[in-house]
Amino acid sequence: MKTFYITTPIYYPSANLHIGHAYCTTIADTIARFKRLAGYEVFFLTGSDEHGQKIQRTAQAKGKTPLEYVDPIVESFKELWKKFYISNDDFIRTSEPRHEKVVQEIFKRIQANGDIYKGEYTGLYCTPCESYWTELQLDENGCCPDCHRPVEKVSEEAYFFRLSKYADKLLKHIEEHPEFIVPTSRRNEMINFIKSGLEDLCISRTSFNWGIPVPGDERHVIYVWFDAVINYITPMFDKPELKKFFPADIHLVGKEIVRFHTIIWPAMLMAAELPLPKQIYGHGWLVTDGDKMSKSKGNVVDPVKLVEEFGADAIRYFLLREITLGLDGNFSRDALIQRINADLANDLGNLLHRTLNMIGKFQKKILLPTTEGTELDKSFREEAVETAREYRKLMENIQLSDAVKVVWKFIGRANKYIDETMPWKLAKDETQRQELANVLYNLAESLRIIGILISPFMPATAQKIREQLKISQEMKLDDAEIFGLLKENHEVGKPEQLFPRILIEK
């Protein structure tokens, strides 16, 4: 069986997560679920990035140890992911002993290869971002180019990773593998970044101790980014049965951390003589009124409240449909409600409800034997199969939003098919009994197929559709490309509302 390994970034437990984080995890979950549906053996990883000066300082200010401070926050991450139906196979906390051990092993391996050395570091450090910058990289106010907060000058004995040595090798790899960094805009940025010159990277600190100690020199703790990216190998390091998953097929990351994943992480892997990931996908940000969500700006949307109000599937649908992966996208409550009412309650909800209702009313819930039917029936069936094929292509290309649109186009087609065939009229005419059976069967089958196709986006809704259609066996993607799998005389269930309409307050 083919394997597939996908990761999200591991999140900082410095504040509560917002809907922007849920966006990233939802995309990864959707891809993971799609791959499982397509028959791959999947490993999907997420986690929490717990070390560093910022966490230590915040914990101290609250009179807690770093672990006492982060434990409940990390628990809240795990609960949030459950609420969002995130199907991760493991969750790495960088404070876990299993991770510490791997980081130290990799450190030692790179050191033994001569690519870690001791020196003196004087530099500019942004504590909130845990990033070092050079004078040239600072913004116009001499602040951090990412978060625009002041940087600190630090000078200390430190360990360095020989990043500069890997510039040419990295450039060659990026140029020879166009799929390594996606989208192209990010790839070009990284090529320019490498061409402007790579300096060796300071990878240890002595000014605080909340981190993984440098093996053999415990006064130093390892730089939090060096520690964090290694989480991607932690689950499989000592597990022979999981080794087949490494390296990752996709590291899905936000655009501002592409640099760490496409330059530092691959160079570390080269230095440790390990294989490189196949792809790093840099997605855009979820913004509110054009501004990135962040706690300091006060424009965050709380995902827990949102799930309680609308349910995870509706939010997942909105995020995947509205935002083209790779570009920034706007989050708006009004737009979410409109999508729920129009696409979910109306288009999908009504299709299921009307179909089951008619099968119940006209055929006592039974799908009767069919014939080939009219030209319209034939083209409708062809369109269902064509939709599944098109969807597969788009999903394989990670064009998630386009894949959702293709499914909804077919849902629109199915609703129109009801209006065109008018089963309620056929039911009144004895001579049309066969045609009625054909139409109702075609509709039930199309819902079976729709249920498969939406399962990576909206797992709970897909499950409800299956239950209402009374499909007991597991369905795979291949089953969506075949029309006619529901058996003659199959009994369907009672229609139940999928999504209630939401009243918009003036």
Judge whether 435 and 461 are in contact, CB under 8 Å.
no
Query: Which residues is 131 bridged to in the sheet?
Result: 126
Which C-beta is closer to ligand MSP: that of 49 or that of 249?
A: 49
Report the nearest approach of ligand MSP to the CB of residue 33 (Å).
20
CA distances from 255 to 11, 12, 187 (A): 14, 16, 11
* The binder of ligand MSP chosen from 12, 43, 362, 441 (CB under 6 A): 12
| Residue 6 is a binding residue for ligand MSP (CB under 6 A) | no
Taken in order 389, 392, 394, 400, the sign of the CA dihedral is positive
Q: Which of 4, 5, 6, 9 binds ligand MSP (CB under 6 A)?
A: 9
| CB 90 to ligand MSP: min, Å | 14
Residue nearest to ligand MSP (CB): 254
Q: Which residues of 234-253 are buried (b: 16+ CB within 10 A; e: fewer)?
A: bbbbeeeebeebbbbbbbbb
Q: Which is nearer to ligand MSP, 330 or 497 (CB)?
A: 330
**454 is written with which tokens?**
């939406």
CB of 309 vs ligand MSP, minimal distance in Å? 19
> Angle 167-176/184-195 helices, nearest 10 degrees?
160
Of positions 125, 180, 210, 285, contacts ligand MSP by CB under 6 A: 285
- Return the biggest CA–CA distance within the chain: 91
Closest CA to 25 of 81, 89, 96, 108: 81
Q: Is 486 in the site for ligand MSP (CB under 6 A)?
A: no
Residue 92 touches ligand MSP, criterion: CB under 6 A: no
How many residues in the shown chain lie near ligand MSP by CB under 6 A? 19
How many Å apart are CA 2 and CA 244, to the nearest integer?
Answer: 10
Shortest Å distance, C-beta 472 to ligand MSP: 38
Q: Residue 257 interacts with ligand MSP (CB under 6 A)?
A: yes
The answer to whether residue 320 forms part of the interface with ligand MSP (CB under 6 A) is no
Q: Is 229 in the site for ligand MSP (CB under 6 A)?
A: yes
Beta bridge partners of 442: none
Q: Which of 256, 302, 481, 491 binds ligand MSP (CB under 6 A)?
A: 256
Q: Does 211 bind ligand MSP (CB under 6 A)?
A: no
**CA nearest 274: which of 106, 467, 466?**
106
> Which x/- pattern, by CB under 6 A, does the window 43-82 give for ligand MSP?
------x---------------------------------
Q: Which of residues 234-253 bind ligand MSP (CB under 6 A)?
A: 253
Total Cβ atoms within 10 A of residue 326: 18
Measured between its terminal Cα atoms, the distance across the chain in Å is 54
Structure tokens at 133: 């910058």
Q: Is 21 in the site for ligand MSP (CB under 6 A)?
A: yes
- In 3D space, the residue among 149, 153, 32, 19 whose CA is nearest the CA of residue 86 turns out to be 32
Nearest of 232, 222, 224 to residue 266 by alpha carbon: 232
Where does this chain touch ligand MSP (CB under 6 A) — which range of 20-28, 82-90, 354-362, 424-432?
A: 20-28
- The reply to whether 228 sits near ligand MSP by the rule CB under 6 A is yes
348 binds ligand MSP (CB under 6 A): no
Binding site for ligand MSP (CB under 6 A): 9-12, 20-21, 23-24, 49, 228-229, 253-254, 256-257, 285-286, 292-293
